[in-house]
Structure formats: structure tokens, C-alpha cells
Amino acid sequence: MQSYTRRSFLGLGGAALATATLAACAGTGGSSSEASSESGTITFWSNHPGKSQDVEKELISRFRSAHPDLQVNLVSAGKNYEEVSQKFNAALSGGELPDVVVLSDVWWFNYALNKTITPLDDLYSQVGIDTSDYVDSLVADYEFAGNHWALPYARSTPLFYYNKQLWQQAGLPDRGPQTWQEFGEWGPRLQQAIGSGKHAHGWGDAKDYLGWTFEGPVWTFDGAYSDEWALRFTDEKTLTAARFLADTIHTGKYAVVSNDIANDFAAGVIGSTIASTGDLSGITTNATFEFGTAFLPSMDGKPGCPTGGAGLAVPANISDERKRNALTFIEFVTNPENTAYFSQNVGYMPVRKSAVNDPSMKAFLEQNPNSRTAVDQLAHTRSQDYARVFVPGGDQIIGTGLEQIALQNVDPAVALGGVQDRIQQIVDRQIAPNL
């Protein structure tokens, strides 16, 4: 297959790439709610990332004070990003469309390809938005066909969380492991210290974004899910990373797969984990012990951490007035003061450059070094592999393959060979014909 760079692929504006669930994305939903923001109400669909519902309500209260002519209807559109996307897809087929919708890193792209969300650039001047203050790498994540299709909102990286009390009991330094090989050496000591019925480390399951949280470790072994459209699941270095995953569970027996890594870590059931920055506030509230956060381990100084999280998008098939009102709301809740507030109370990274210079943010980071880790690590992250974020269903396929290795002790070559075959079929059938 001909090689395409990210930018050249994103320039293929007419590509019709969609999962089966997105086959009808070009529907005309929304006509029954067309008066929504013409009558002064902005409907905001969210899954309240990082358990942020109360924080979102506060942001809405601030918005209403600044824009008394506009109301905001906050709708719980799902428990997670997938459920929000499913609800949005259903609305595109004939239901009532929101004005603003949360879309994660693995969902927005399909809607942009199908042109069912609005390219925002032409609206920036109408609303008075200058995107230069947004963190460059975060706003660039939503670029497609010369336009931006969302603005960053609940943006995250994975962090390495560790129980300081357990680390001390095991006689380890108060820091995260510098490499995964080092953590492999620490694992047995940590397991002995934590005792039976618990585990030194917890990996997430497929629903807890194992395909995302293990992407960084794969990179540190010089593996990858893909290089652009060339799949690399069966490369020897990728398999080496997968064997390491298997060894932590089946050989070293100091790690386990958890279906709720944040709560299990906070409860002391697992001594360390890789979880989102969005889990930070919940862990801080629930943990009864002192814990630390660290960069994900690297190898030879090579970054081993992807960005992630979600942005805010505007449906295409609503009126121009609704679009302007929606973008006014998005700009407001992501302005420097409010992204700093969101970051301090939920744990996601502030999405504006100037937010880190906000006095309250400076004070917060000084008093909360666990939060500073995410901000500092941002400079050491890299864009995710196409196979996870551009291939429809890629994340779940990858996570399920890794689960087979972790839970069923399937040979990594067999499990990841199956992943490669499934994703290659999707690329060949749904993507290659449009390249």
C-alpha cells in the first residue's frame, strides 16, 4: 500500500471511513430541536469525564453569569466516551442533536471524515477566538482537511501511580521506575511487601483503555501498533513488550488485570497502576495512604507516553446561530481561568498555555506535585499510532488482544497476530479504497 503521512491522510477530505455503527452518520437529525439555542438554550452532552459533573455545573454557572441571555442544558449522555458517541450517532440518524458534544481521541475522527461535526475555523473570527493560546499539540490533534473539528477540553496523559507506603516497605526509592526492566526487578519485592490477596501492579482491562495505557510501554521497547498505516503488531519488538506484560502476570505473578484500576489503587488492592490524569482527583479523594505520580518509564530517554482524553465538538446539521452559541460556550469553559479550575478540581491538563501562569494554578501545582507531573510530562509525549485512533474500533480490538495475553495467557504472537489480521481487514476494506 502507498505510504501516507498523517497530514496527507488528513487532507483527504472526502474519505468515507466509518464503522458499521456509523454507516448512517450523514442523517438529518436535529430538525426537531432546531429552536434549541435560537431560544437561548445550549444543550451540552457529556459523560462528565473524570467524574466532573459538579465541576461542569460550576462552569455552566459561570457561563450564565457572563452570558445571561443564554441557558445551558447539561445532559448526561453516557457513562463513558463510547456511550456518548453511540448516543450521538443515534441522534444523527434522526434524533435531537446537541449543540456541544464530548468526543474522545478515538471517536471525533470518524465524525470529521463523515462531515457530521462542524469545521470550526471559519467560526473562530465570528466568535472572537484566538487559538494561539491553546497548547499547540493538543489543538493540533483535531486537525483534518485543513480545519479543526474540536477544541481540547478534558485532555490527559497516562500517569504512573504508586503507593508510597508500599514503596517504603519494599525498601525502594520514592520515585517511579525509570524503565520497565527496572520495574520488573522491583515487582517481586513489592509483591512480597503487599502480601497475598493483593498485587504490586494493576493493568487496566480493555474497557479501562488497556490499548491506550499499554501503548507507551510498547514504544519503550521500540515496538508500535503501527507506523502510519503499516501495522506492527507482529514485529519482534512489539511482541517483546507483550511478553513483558505476560511475564508480570503469569511468571512474576506480581501484576493483575483490574476492571477498575483507579478504585482498586485507591483501595490499596493494587500497589501501582497506569491511569489517566483524569483519575487523579478521585484517587486523591479516596486513597487513605500517601501516593505519588511519575512519568511513564522510558528507555534510553525515548518518550513512552501518549496524549489522550477528549475535546468538544459541534454537530454539523444545526443552524449557524446554534453553532456560534455553541462555540462561545466551548471557548468560555476552556479559557485560561476555567481550564485552570477544571484541571485543579478534576486532574486533566490545562489546555491553555497561559493557564499555567495563572496565580491560582501556580499555587496549586506548588502544593500538588502529583498534578504537576502531568503538566511536566506533556513535553515528553507523542501522538498516538494510527491503528488505535484512526481505525474504527481499533482501540477495542487492541485491548481485547492484550487481554487475551494477560487473562488467558495466549501466546503474544497468536493474540497480536489476530489483532493485526482484524485491523488490516478494516484498513483494506474501509480505508485503503479511499486513499
CA-closest candidate to residue 211, choices 422, 372, 431, 36: 422
Are 135 and 378 in contact by the 8 Å Cβ rule? The answer is yes
pLDDT at 140: 86
Give the tens place of pLDDT for each residue, 358-383: 899 999 999 999 999 988 998 888 88
Exposed, middle or buried by CB within 10 Å (0-12, 13-18, 19+), for 70? middle
Instruction: Report whether 75 contacts 44 (CB < 8 A).
Output: yes
Tell me phi and psi for residue 189, to 5 degrees: -65, -40
SS3 151: strand
pLDDT at 10 over 50: no
Whole-angstrom Cα distance, residue 407 to residue 409?
6
* Mean pLDDT over each residue of the chain, to the nearest integer: 89
User: What percentage of the chain exceeds 90 in pLDDT?
Assistant: 74
pLDDT tens per residue across span 203-216: 999 988 899 999 99
pLDDT of 13: 38
pLDDT single digits (tens) 159-184: 999 999 999 999 999 999 999 999 99
For the residues 336-348, what does the mean pLDDT come to? Answer: 93
Q: pLDDT at residue 12 above 80?
A: no
* pLDDT top residue among 59 and 21: 59
Note the pLDDT tens digit of each residue in 231-283: 999 999 999 999 999 999 999 999 999 999 999 999 999 999 999 988 998 99
Mean pLDDT of 285-308: 90
Q: What is the pLDDT of residue 9?
A: 43
Longest dimension (CA), the chain: 64
User: At residue 33, does pLDDT exceed 50?
Assistant: no
pLDDT tens for 69-127 read 999 999 999 999 999 999 999 999 988 999 999 999 989 988 988 899 999 999 999 99
Q: The C-alpha cell of 356 is what? A: 499555567
d(CA 340, CA 347): 10
Q: What whole-number distance in Å separates Cα of residue 221 and Cα of residue 227? A: 15
pLDDT of residue 145: 78
Distance CA 189, CA 14 (A): 55
Q: What is the DSSP letter of 276?
A: E
Question: Rounded mean pLDDT of 58-75?
Answer: 97
Compare 321 and 39 and report the one with higher pLDDT: 321
Q: What's residue 327's pLDDT?
A: 97
- H and E: helices and strands count for the chain: 20, 14
Mean pLDDT for 297-306 is 82
Asked if residue 28 has pLDDT above 50, the reply is no
**SS3 call for 261:** helix
Give dist(CA 362, CA 356) in Å, integer. 6
- C-alpha distance from residue 268 to each of 145, 161, 198, 254, 288 (Å): 47, 12, 8, 14, 8
More confident residue, 146 or 84: 84
Joined grid coordinates for residue 430: 474501509
Instruction: Tell the residue number behind the cell numbers 478515538, with chain if given.
Output: 106
